Structure 1
Amino acid sequence: MLTFQAEMHAQAKLKERIIWLLYLGTVFFLLYGAANEFASLTAPHFSFYFEWEKQIDFIPAFIVPYMSSDLIFVIAFLLPQTRLELRVLALRVLFIVLISVMIFIAFPLEFSFSKPSTESYAFLFKLLEADKPFNQLPSLHVSFAIVFWFSMKETINNHLIKAVLLSWLLLVIASTLLVYQHHFIDLPTGALVGMLAILFIRENQSKVLITKFMTPRHLKMASYFLALSIGLMVMSFALTPIFLYFFLCCFSVSIIYAFGLNHLLDISYKKARLIRWFILFPYYLGCKLSWMRYKKSLPLVSKVDSGVYLGRHPSIGEYSKINALGVKRVINLATELPLNKTALIQHRFNFLDQTIQCPKAIHKAVVLIEKHKSDGIYVHCALGLSRSVIVIWAWMLFNGKTNEEITEHLNEIRPDYVKSKYMEVNISLYQKYLNSQLN
């Protein structure tokens, strides 16, 4: 079986750090670019500056620290750090981007000074021309500088390097004024957003967000939805703004996958239910249509053992067939699908589809099966091919079966189940968890 260290205090592998970098870098450029394009379409916009700012010198050399912000972004994610430290950094960056972009859209400001012509650093200034003179308040350069300092100073032990880093970040902040990219008001507001990110997202106070179980597999799935989001954003500018609604849905699902916020995709989750339904309706509809398409080609129920059954999400009429088997309880892992009315007792676990599941959550389902197997229990996900298989596999491990015996049995009763590396990692993590409970 494949191994993966899922503990939050384990060192994040380089591959994991790269995936986070690519994911959040894409999120940044997508949202920042969209806000900038929106501002350009609705220009001109108001400019806010103090008269004394006209006396600020334009210093071409400061284009170097200004443009280095992207490089610092890369370094901050690639530095060796624990999975917890990486998650905190990722959440802070996401917080800054989301808050800032909402402000850019709601209150677009425009930079009002003209840059003097200069032959120095022509290449860097040419690159800078792609950034239109909008997205002013708050300054993301300032917000990122603050967050990157708090992150990088924890992972850098050399005091000299720390001093150089701090000095350079201060130059980055100063450069926003000295290359005529921002007015002064953008700096303190950028600092405020950065400090709010530090204040709200901390290891000891943000456990609901930080400790949610997720793995690089979650990020892989999140990337698929993010890629779709990019296409929808392009279509919204090129064709019609209607696609913004579908963008909002796909982007939200991407964030949910990336940060392991499983409960937000649970169709029965009551908090902010109306808002969630409005935003995620296209996703729910897509899941429903997918289930309708494939359910006819898959068997409803497969018998695992006496009183224990495995299968797909049943329609309302199919519950009678399950009931006829003597089943009294259902473990429903397809929480993205509507809860059909049935007399059977339902236990719902919000497992994200096609991801690695939390071993502790799997064990709760295993204990539930073991407790009620004499009453008859039916374990299902959407199609009965992955999430339900993981739980059943874990239950058989709990009862002393070997992986070879389980594989042979599942090939007999559910031959089309998903055979993928992420499934192997699921089982490996549960075996490790089970051994820790037994020892």
Structure 2
Amino acid sequence: MGEFSPEQWKQINALLDQDPKRYGFPEQRADSVILSSFNIRKLGKVKNKSAGAFRLLARYVQATDLLAIQEIQDDLAALGFLKSLAGDAFGMAVSDVTGAIPGRPGLVERLGFLFRWSTIERTEVASDISYDRSAVQKNLLTRREDFNTALKEREQEIAEFERKKLQYAIDKERYDNGETDDKPSRPSMPPFKLPHFLTFIRSPYCCSFKVKPLGPAEPYEFLAINAHLLYGDASKQKLERQLEFEALLDWIYTRAKKLEYTYHDNFILLGDLNLDFDDPEEDRARIENKIKEIDQDFLKSRTGARVNFPFFDAHPEYGTGFPLKSGAPGPFRTTARLKDTYDQIGIFSHDPRLPDHTANRDAGAVEGQYDYGMFNFVRLFLDLLYGPQSELNQLSSSERRAFFALFEHDLSDHMPIWVRLPKPRPEM
């Protein structure tokens, strides 16, 4: 697997120095803070990423005030090394492993936050989000026919998988003995597809924070929720992904209404939600309708929260770079292959100083005020290798394979997203 050379990493950083705005790299300002989310692919062992990748990751950390990180592995060495590169200005909070029983196979990972001590105050709450045993039991009982059908289908899938495994062993022995030139493919166990939401594949991780004010003003207070939801290509898994997202929305919004019990009144979701946009216009409309239902509840309720998911909207400046099928400006594509908007930031707010969805159309209009964006390192790497007029879809399939091999594992296959919030101040 190839990766950028040390000299190429120098050139990458020089390009970024020349025009950070072209690549959506957030500017550090004294009048505002940057809240960000970044799925850093398999951040575990230090040896698995190059020195150049670590330096670019650290440079990005230093541009943020609060960074939610997904795909932290059980081994915390790489996260600790990244924090040390970013410097003593940053603190850290990290979950234990989620996604499997420790010591057993599964989607084991941690979720974590890096935060700037001078602008962000870490407060007392740290927890995960889960559905209690009684809720799971009730769900299984009331929808038992659907679950029974799914279990029967699963039995058939396992039986077919065992048959393929046996055939693979026979075919491999024949291939190894030179009896055939056809090398067999090892079968893989198909994923178990649930008909209804049962529980999170990885428990979202929550920490409470405050954004320190400029002068005598109240801070922003919020619970940050770091989530990495289900991924899967099968059509039924896409439905399961949607159900998991809606369950998380429901948990946050229901919790946000209980003002007498919540530690902080505002909730900010940052994470890789793996939302599927096969048809970006139709899928986005469906999800936006769900969010509008919540917003309508806010208008009717004294305890409901306003909801804003800016990465469902086309950015007023950058949206033309991500056109929809209709040609209209579209939302950022946050995966390195520029196909999907898996990564999201959602603001559930009672504080009127925090932006609602109407603020998105004017995002970035005033320096230091509300904005949102994405560090488009794919554009940066294209500029280095193919020039500023190049486009990803102009590359041949072999060029694309070689291009992605340079960084998808070494750096990441997701690009970081961010929102800028003006610091609280007396005149707000």
> In proportion to residue count, which structure has more helix?
1
Larger Rg computed on CA atoms: 1
Larger RCO of the pair (alpha carbons < 8 Å, separation 6+): 2
TM over 0.5: no
Greater strand share, structure number: 2
Normalising by structure 1, what TM-score? 0.26
- Normalized against structure 2, the TM-score is what? 0.27
